[in-house]
Chain A
Amino acid sequence: NAGVTQTPKFQVLKTGQSMTLQCAQDMNHNSMYWYRQDPGMGLRLIYYSASEGTTDKGEVPNGYNVSRLNKREFSLRLESAAPSQTSVYFCASGGRAEPGNTIYFGEGSWLTVV
């Protein structure tokens, strides 16, 4: 998957701990996204950022915060992790919503909360 890098790839947290998932893209994209993927649920949008300096809630924002640090980076923070946040998290980035532009995904971050 071209140009979207997520860290860490795997993480185990205890309930109540905090952590930040990092995402960076090198394609000069305006839009960035965070999703979670659970068995049978597909990809559910947590937050997205249509441009540097803006963020908007998706379907499942509760328990998460985001920061669009600059045009390249979009981080996802869990302030007090809960077992229900055990999931695979994907970051994506894309050019403006017009013909010729597409959206690319990172390889995912596997998070387990015990």
Chain B
Amino acid sequence: EDQVTQSPEALRLQEGESSSLNCSYTVSGLRGLFWYRQDPGKGPEFLFTLYSAGEEKEKERLKATLTKKESFLHITAPKPEDSATYLCAVRERNEKLTFGTGTRLTIIP
């Protein structure tokens, strides 16, 4: 069965303390791995899509990488405004999009 697993479930960091979030997946026919940010009471906000192993994308303090089995979201020198839930999802050949349960990130000033 196709699965998407995110770890850790929750992460507390001091402002400026870099770390990484993990998304491991098993899916046949990957057609994109997506990262989203979600703030309380809001819909998911698109961050990145990765399509092939070895691909990397960056946006401000965030960098996403992809291998054949997992993706990492690296957060460099985070700020309190980076606090949110980060969601990973995989898209299959038939357009189905499956999410992990997310990592709740808290940045302490």
Contact = CB atoms under 8 A, between A and B. Distances in A.
A30 to B, nearest CB: 8
Contacts, number: 70
Contact of A99 (B41, B42, B51): B51
A45 B102 CA distance: 15
A12 interface: no
Interface residues of A, number: 32
Given A40-B101, A103-B34, A45 B44 contact: no
A96 B95 CA distance: 7
Interface string B31-55: 1101010000111111001010000
A104 B44 CA distance: 8
Nearest to A42: B101
Interface of B: 31-32, 34, 36, 41-46, 49, 51, 87, 89, 91-102
